[in-house]
Amino acid sequence: MKKIVVFASGSGSNAENIIKHFKQTKVAKVVAVFTNNPNAKVIERAKNHQIPVEIFSKNELLERNIVQKIQEINPDLIVLAGFLLKFPENIIELYPNKIINIHPALLPNYGGKGMYGMHIHRAIVNNKEKETGISIHYVNEHYDEGGIIFQKNVALTQEDTPETVAEKIHELEQKYFPEIIQAVLEDSNSKK
């Protein structure tokens, strides 16, 4: 069975959704959750599913400590699910095309440093966009610039607020993120 490590910084609704999805399959399982936020709700969600949690500081992420912990696990895939720190190049180099992220907009639009969560949804509403969506992509050394694996769009209306946009995006994330992670893992199987 393949091993998934999830990195998250916040509530962990996507992380928990991924954990639940893979409990129902024989493809893979989430073996650890890493977070840079000691107050993140993702910690409680992971523990409820008996998933070990690793809490670390930004410095520990950049030093050898976290790299070694990841290497000990030897994951088949690292999934960033609402992880807000820039992912270190040394880890990206060790796991080429094995780190994926979900972004709550249609990249390349609304990507880059500082573009996350409600910041994105506000910008989309302020710019009167007709649609938005999610992008699932490989992680490289630049924010939100890795190869796109999957995008799904959703129509917006003039009545949409940043909050209603967030709800629409959340629905897409919950529906598609686990499916695409599974497809990526199954695709890597067929390449061996």
Residues classed as catalytic:
103
CA distance 38 to 23: 25
How many angstroms separate the Cα of 135 from the Cα of each of 63, 80, 122, 168? 29, 12, 18, 14
CA distance 178 to 175: 7
Q: Helix (H, G, I), strand (E, B), or coil: what is residue 11?
A: coil
CB 47 within 8 A of CB 53: yes
